[in-house]
Amino acid sequence: MTDPAPLTPTDLTGGPTRGVGEPGDQVRPGRRPRRDGEGPRDVKPVILTVDDDPSVSRAVARDLRRRYAEDYRVVRAETGSDALDVIREVVLRGEQVAVLLADYRMPQMNGVEFLESAMDLVPQARRALLTAYADTSAAIAAINVVDVDHYLLKPWEPPEEKLYPVIDDMLTSWKRDGKPPEHKTKILGHPWSPESYEVRDFLARNLVPYRWYNVEDPDGKRLLAAAGKGPADVPVVVTTSGDAMSRPSLTDLANAVGLDTTPRGDFYDVVIVGSGPAGLGAAVYAASEGLKTVVLERSAAGGQAGQSSRIENYLGFPDGVAGAQLTDRARRQAVRLGAELLTARSVVGLKAKGPAREITFDDGETLLAHAVVLATGVSYRQLDAEGADALLGRGIYYGSASTEAAACADQHVVIVGGANSAGQAAVFFSTHAAQVTLVVRGDSLTKSMSSYLIEQVEARDNIEVRTCTQIEKVEGEEHLSAVTLFDKTTGQREVVDAEHLFVFIGAAPLTDWLDGEVVRDARGFVVTGPELLVEGRRPDGWDLPRDPYLLESSLPGVFVAGDARADSVKRVASAVGEGALAVTLVHRYLAEQ
């Protein structure tokens, strides 16, 4: 071993530290995690050395860098606990540890104990123990306890003969069996947990790449331990920068993965509430025409259309298009043209504020605009079946829930509904499941499903259509296991085994928060335009010398587009058209101010 040379203070990520070492060398606990966007990440695999003697530690790191610095990042630590902290951070960031070199005779945690703990975190890393001539018993213990690949005798001068051949052999073995690095957001949770499903669905619908880990599996347990969390903390979300978040709110999650949640301004020409086809259509036209525009979305862009596995009757797509693909194109188009899109923001209030219109968020914050376009869409009605509420997110889902497709492989899937969304889901899941049962309350699909979808449903041998039937009861302990079907024609009941049930029934407008502010019909849909006139009289509180515009609500300057509007046509193309028309009417309204 040669004497160490003067070194530069740095930590694992290249910032200053109170320890000493070469760049990327010395580490210390408690360092600030590097955030996404703070510069390029060094993704070289790590060679980690642990020795409590600073001079030996520096010498080991220096000799390793001379040979391996081009392809590997050499990191050193002087205690086993510090080294384990390094490993946890590397694992959470999706990076790799290739080789561990640990001195045997260290206080508090010796080399064997360290390697034994490290095995749980990085089982594929190759392990070597550094020992003195007299420590043959340590070598035997290391072989028996932690299955070390090699043990090295100190000193190893010259390294070309006594160190590098050993490391070369370990690295060759590791590269043969190692896994590639994975820089994705990680979700650690239970497969039948509603909270875990909500996180997975939110990221999937916002097109954020992630990797799912079941905490009951070895890899999930390993990552949960690396994050310093336990079963009670799940779901745990580990960001690409290595931050571990336990049971995050959707707003915190959105911020962590880089989605926008905070408006850049406090006053806009137009605020659009909802980012389904109507909201995105309005955003594209408003932004392209120079209006300062912000879109507010509580979950993910696309609405129900974004969850459709395939839309085949939208103009310009002769081969059909996935709902997520169509709405993502619209989202990117709106953003490119200058619209802001805020995610995970729930709107709970709307009122006139002089000539402006004020939007209130669920956290109490407010936003002002000259005009508002309501494009909140609809949600599926709740399934009226015994036991359904208790199994929500544990086998029962509202909407397509494409994140569950892999789990449906070779299973029996039940789909409730008779309109296009249900038909699209039936066709989609039939490519994964062994059998799909489509439960329809009416006596025929022709009343509410497009003919092209009916033909596709009938062409699938593993889709069974049960008309005049409803779900009466669902059962299951940790997750759904059985469904009771009631045939209204025969009066017979049948219990069928099923682990997945997807609900597409009815349409409940998301307008409860508008109660008292705008006129709604008996079902909650917002009434607009000429329909607001009763015997030629304008609605109460209307203070303009004209009748409401076609898509204008009873509150001047507030327009409605898409499914939330009373008597609207529930189709993607009509929603986009109404969004565009709403912007034209916004221009007319602004010209009056």
The per-residue pLDDT for 145 is 61
Domain match, 96 and 157 both:
yes
Dihedral sign, Cα of residue 246, residue 249, residue 252, residue 256 = positive
Identify the band that residue 353 occupies on the pLDDT scale cut at 50, 70 and 90. very high
Residue 1 lies in a domain: no
Residue 16 lies in a domain: no
Residue 14 lies in a domain: no
Query: 347-353 and 356-361: which strand pairing?
Result: antiparallel
pLDDT in tens, 278-317: 999 999 999 999 999 999 999 999 888 888 878 888 889 8
Identify the band that residue 55 occupies on the pLDDT scale cut at 50, 70 and 90. confident
CATH classification at residue 165: 3.40.50.2300
Domain match, 346 and 427 both:
no
The domain of 460 spans 389-503
Nearest by Cα to 81 from 129, 33, 27, 128: 27
The predicted model scores a pTM of: 0.76
What percentage of residues in the chain have a pLDDT greater than 90? 60
Domain match, 482 and 445 both:
yes
pLDDT in tens, 360-414: 999 999 999 999 999 999 988 899 999 999 999 999 998 877 778 888 889 999 9
Domain match, 281 and 322 both:
yes
Residue 271 lies in a domain: yes
End position of a domain, from candidates 482, 503, 524:
503
End position of a domain, from candidates 477, 503, 529:
503
End position of a domain, from candidates 135, 161, 177:
177
Domain match, 205 and 161 both:
no
pLDDT in tens, 122-136: 888 998 888 776 555
SS3 letters across 257-308: CCCCCCCCCCEEEEEEECCCHHHHHHHHHHHHCCCCEEEECCCCCCHHHHCC
Residue 71 lies in a domain: yes
The arithmetic mean of pLDDT across residues 353-358, rounded, is 95
Domain match, 523 and 479 both:
no
Domain match, 144 and 51 both:
yes
Domain match, 116 and 238 both:
no
Domain match, 62 and 129 both:
yes
What percentage of residues in the chain have a pLDDT greater than 70? 90
Return the ∠ at Cα 514 (arms to 203 and 249), rounded to 5°: 25
The per-residue pLDDT for 525 is 96
Domain match, 59 and 155 both:
yes
Lowest mean pLDDT among 149-153, 162-166, 502-506, 550-554: 149-153
Give the separation between CA 139 and CA 315, rounded to whole angstroms. Answer: 72
Dihedrals φ, ψ of 353, to 5°? -130, 80
The per-residue pLDDT for 141 is 59
Domain match, 367 and 513 both:
yes
Query: Given a cut of 60, is residue 501 above it in pLDDT?
Result: yes
Residue 252 lies in a domain: yes
The structural domain count of the chain equals 4
